[in-house]
């Protein structure tokens, strides 16, 4: 994926303003097709939470105004150097047809509410465990990895045991 073709301004992260906002509008900055066959959209702003901090990315869809096959199914969201990349596929887009999307198109964003709610709760639960364990006498445990995925697990290091082995 050639980053030089894209607008390099950082994406405004609207989920920081209101984490429960699940619909929004934005302007399309670029559309590329990745080596893995997925399409990638960059926007001037987003309500989609990119994967990071041990929390999985939001999913949902983007409607592109003025485009026939306008439903873009967002399956993954990542961030690099302040730019958010929305990965996915166009619904009902078959064959070898490659859509050409113009920069500046208005789009509508829709986040999958049940997934956002679950991911948020799992993330908060992980932080609560970090705070509570020392308060119930397990201060020798220290969180070592953030992994707040639905199929996840929590890893704590036994610091006292480690220190005795040194």
> Kind and range of the H or E element at 105?
none
Residues in CB range of 77: below 8 A, 6 or more apart: 46, 48, 49, 50, 51, 57, 58, 59, 84, 85, 86, 87
8-43 per-position pLDDT tens digit: 789 999 988 998 899 999 999 999 988 888 999 999
Start-end ranges of CATH 2.40.30.130 in the chain? 3-111
Please state whether 160 falls in left (phi above 0), alpha (psi between -120 and 50) or beta.
alpha
Residues in the chain, pLDDT under 50: 1-5, 160-166
One of 2.40.30.130, 3.40.140.10, 1.10.3720.10, 3.40.50.2300 is the CATH number of 3-111, namely: 2.40.30.130
């Amino acid at each position: 994926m050639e980053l030089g073709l894209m607008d390099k301004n950082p994406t405004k992260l609207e989920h920081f303003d209101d984490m429960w906002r699940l619909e929004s509008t934005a302007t399309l900055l670029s559309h590329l097709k990745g080596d893995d066959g997925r399409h990638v959209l960059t926007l001037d702003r987003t309500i989609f939470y990119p994967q990071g901090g041990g929390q999985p990315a939001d999913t949902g869809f983007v409607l592109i105004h003025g485009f026939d096959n306008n439903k873009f199914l967002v399956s993954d969201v990542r961030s690099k150097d302040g730019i958010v990349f929305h990965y996915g596929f166009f619904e009902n887009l078959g064959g070898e047809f490659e859509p050409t999307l113009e920069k500046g198109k208005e789009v509508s964003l829709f986040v999958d509410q049940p997934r956002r709610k679950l991911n948020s709760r799992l993330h908060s639960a992980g932080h609560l465990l970090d705070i509570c364990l020392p308060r119930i006498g397990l201060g020798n445990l220290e969180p070592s990895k953030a992994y707040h995925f639905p199929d996840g697990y929590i890893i704590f290091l036994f610091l006292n045991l480690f220190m005795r082995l040194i």
